Structure 1
Amino acid sequence: MKIGISTYALRWEWEFVDKIENPLDIYGLLYRVKELGAEAFQICDYPPIEEMSTGELQAFKEKAKELGIELELGTQGVYPDHLLKYLKIANALEVKVLRTMVHDKVHQPSIAQAEEWLKKILPSFELSGVKIALETYEPVKTSDLVSIVKSINSSYIGICLDPGNSISELEFPDAVIENTAPYVTNCHLKDFVFKRREGSIGFNLLGAPVGDGQLNLDFLLETLKKEGKTVNGIIELWLPFTESAEKTAQLQTEWIQKSIANMKKKLSSFSAVEK
């Protein structure tokens, strides 16, 4: 498993432009990924990518190759025209995985409609060799997501496993892992902890560095291994705002560094057991 970083994990260096003095552009983010020691960069829910020309995308691709960083792409929704637009971007970047979600801000199709739309664009993705990874998340039950993938029955339509996203639908992370593992083509590593609120009334679901929370990494890695899945693990963060944008960005760096260190240690122990 290659360890990667998503733009979602670097939000305090580019997204909140009203709070950040010098937000990074896409090249700055790429250099940060390299600097932090990751092997892959998932450009996910990053609107500026849509404004880049084919030549600009190809130049960026070459820089990523020079730095030894594998690129992945991410968006939201399964509306055919939108996915085909992102397929063009994927082709220019020579990306082989496109993470998306069933819903976007405009379209919330039924499961049947989502399946119909995906079947419509599937030949284009198969021809380009780009796999679609539908992310597990709360608006769509995991069982419905699996039913879409099983019904279409193509190696080019799989699942982006993010075990924490479905907790609000009362789906246990380990169950999400187990139920989706045969179809996983991408994996988000985003850790979390439950903490009781002050006054002992209710709980909060909070983020944590990967390996420091309640995500069962051993079970995740073991289950993917049993299914023969060799996918990238992309770090995302549920990072709390901390006093100021500068302090939050600093905490973001610390969490990513801790997450990568924890993952390298975990993967190393798995390799040692195999030997």
Structure 2
Amino acid sequence: MLIDLSDKTAIVTGSTGGIGLAIAQGLAASGATVIVNGRKQDSVDAAIKQITDALPKASVRGVAADLSSAEGLATLQAAEPKADILVNNLGIYAQQDFFETSDEQWQEFFDVNVLSGVRVSRAYVPAMVDQGWGRVVFISSESGLNIPADMIHYGFTKSANLSVARGLAKRLAGTGVTVNSVLPGPTLSEGVAAMLEPMVKKQGVSLQQAGDAFVKAKRPSSIIQRIATTEEVANMVVYTCSPQASATTGAALRVEGGIVDSIG
């Protein structure tokens, strides 16, 4: 299957590292003009350099903006007023006991993980409808279905992503604009690597071995029995953004190694 996005512009929020950066690079490799987004200009510049080093012919621009606020969206829109593809990847996570999670932390997770995708979609989707083609992807998580006891606030936001995406897909019925969620599982991003570093040092194992041990211990229902790569998640997202995925909308597409024990 040859995915050609050479006439498309794609915005990937929160794409200066991890899964977001892999998605941005995957879309660029398929020919899309990609807009990288992060909160700080230096991280945006570094991400653009990483993509263009790997893909010298890639068309990549960047916008530094905090999309957890309306002001950040205004900055993004002023720089990039139109997009054919929107990947709502921006998100934060942290382990925190329910009884120690403050109102302010709940609000922060909602603003970053949920409301950012709502406001960015509200801004960019109408033009997609006008042109009769568009792709919107929300990066959710298997934690949105299997709510972690030690990250209830995070799991809640990932469930909300699924709700928004499904509802928006139905709202856009017949327009040519598809809306889907992609659900990664444990993935070897920079954040997860940092979390695993103590195990690497203490046990003298590789990062990959530590990640695989984490999956087997914390997500024993995993069928692949290993941690995923960011590229594996990005591959699913790139396909979902492609013309070939035209009959896929309102779906929750799992790329979590079979952790969710369901045939649906």
If the TM-score is normalised by the length of the shorter chain, which range does it land in? 0.3 to 0.5
With structure 2 as the length reference, what TM-score do the two structures score? 0.37
With structure 1 as the length reference, what TM-score do the two structures score? 0.36
